[in-house]
Amino acid sequence: MNAPLLPVQPRGPYPLFDFQVNGFAGVDFQSDTLSAEDLGRAVRALREDSVGGILLTLITDDESKLCARFRRVEGFRRSDPGIAAIVRGYHLEGPWLNPEPGYCGAHPAAAMHAPSIDAFDRLQEAAEGGIRLVTLAPEWPGSTPMIEALIAREVRVALGHTNASHEQIDAAVRAGATLCTHLGNGVPNLLPRHDNVVQRLLARDELTACFIPDGIHLPPFVLRNFFRAKPSGKVLFTTDAMSAAGAPPGRFRIGHMEVTVGSDGVVRGPHGGFAGSSLTPSQGVERAAAFLALPESESRAIWSHRSWGAFGLDPNDAFSTAGPS
């Protein structure tokens, strides 16, 4: 069973927690040549950005490559307490996503397929039990037993990169899915006016919506509408940061893809679509507060205490486990 939100009072300023970080400070977490020095540099930059923890996010790829990446990062976590203090686990975003154009986003569609609990168990073994969140598209055959198996393994399930029907969303919620990954994104630019997956997911009060409040992935007026549509306590924020976050404009990589980032902060893939964001968590606190007319303390609480609790983690741990990287 998923742990409930934790009734914890932090001992100081809330440390931020981001559950979808693909890279940071010029470092691509998807790289097969990621080094301890690279990851340590990203961790130091995250800590300087008031971050107390992340779920390091790996996106769609072949199972063998994902396993190798998990093992590599786990080796770094074992040998470096500073890395372990910030990397609190993993978010596996794919390969069980919708491969159709638009829905697949910046993920390689050719690597997507129906979910397999045996495949997940191999990935979780490579991650030494550290996968805390899985994003999947519930329209794949076998999704309902997959979600049930993940929940039994105390892994949170988010719906994303999906064109699930009402019935498929119903089945996913009954099986234990509780989150929506970067709701409003990972969909084609053109959708049916009313009956589309953004509206289907937004209407589900059982699901916590995760938004990227950079003003790019969702224009501020759209973010306001979406935020107002959700019940109190049913919103989380994330950066979906990739290697350009916390770095100057330029050319970067996210896995197989080279992207460009201009002075506007937009991460553009080779075909002009978004490919992650250059938002940092501290910028996310400021922008969410400004776009939604929230007190900054409330925005910060969503980015911190609520996010820690959503994954059964204690924000006070950030004070006791932080160390040099």
- Give the separation between CA 15 and CA 295, rounded to whole angstroms: 17
Q: Residue 131 in contact with residue 108, Cβ under 8 Å? A: no
To the query of whether residue 121 is one of the catalytic residues in this protein, the response is no
Among candidate residues 18, 49, 214, 240, the one labeled active-site is 240
- Give the separation between CA 121 and CA 29, rounded to whole angstroms: 21
Q: Which two tokens stand for residue 97?
A: 């996503």
Residue (of 222, 217, 211, 218) closest to 268 by Cα position = 217
Q: Extract the runs of DSSP E, i.e. beta strands, from the chain.
A: 16-21, 23-24, 27-28, 51-59, 87-93, 131-136, 156-159, 179-180, 208-211, 235-237, 250-254, 257-261, 267-268
- Give the separation between CA 239 and CA 210, rounded to whole angstroms: 10
Exposed / middle / buried, residue 284 (Cβ in 10 Å: 0-12, 13-18, 19+) = buried
Distances (CA, A) of 261 to 92, 154, 188, 266: 24, 37, 21, 6
- Give the separation between CA 202 and CA 205, rounded to whole angstroms: 8
- Give the separation between CA 295 and CA 286, rounded to whole angstroms: 10
What residues are labeled active site? 240
